[in-house]
Amino acid sequence: MALLQGNEVYAHCRGDNGKVFYIGSGRPDRKYNTRSRNEDWNKINNSVGFTVKVLVSNITAEQAMVLEFSFIKQIGLNNLTNKTDCNGSMSGGYRHNNRPVVYIKTGELFKNLRHGCLISGENYSTNQNRMYRNSKTKKFNYV
């Protein structure tokens, strides 16, 4: 199955000094969307606005997710308004299941467990439980 290209990784920079305050990934229109952002992101946007810098473009969703987490790790979660990093560490916010995973059987990379189960035909609930317990029978590993 061919993976769809056309995703990108982007940075939101403060409108007053150009400093990066958020790293994101998604389809090209996502970088300009101001909905579904967290409280810290909204505070900066409401006070000084933001500009967008595209870091990488025309890649698959899985590649975008991995690169997004890589940029977050390089800059440091404490220097950004992002709430989670590639290791699932949190910055005072919520934890969501958007960490990339690799399907052990094939080595295929997926943007998250739900996506991996959908494509591979594995049961999501069963694998979510296996991942939580770090079971020896798990079918996926976090990247």
State what percent of residues in the chain have pLDDT above 70: 87
Q: How far is the C-alpha of 37 from the C-alpha of 115, rounded, in Å?
A: 22
Number of H helices, E strands in the chain: 4, 6
Q: Is 24 exposed, middle or buried (0-12, 13-18, 19+ CB in 10 A)?
A: buried
The answer to whether residue 42 scores a pLDDT higher than 90 is: yes
pTM over 0.75: no
The answer to whether residue 94 scores a pLDDT higher than 50 is: no
**Mean pLDDT of the 13-22 span:** 98
Q: Is 8 exposed, middle or buried (0-12, 13-18, 19+ CB in 10 A)?
A: buried
Q: Please, are residues 9 and 71 in contact by the beta-carbon 8 Å criterion?
A: yes
pLDDT for 96:
42
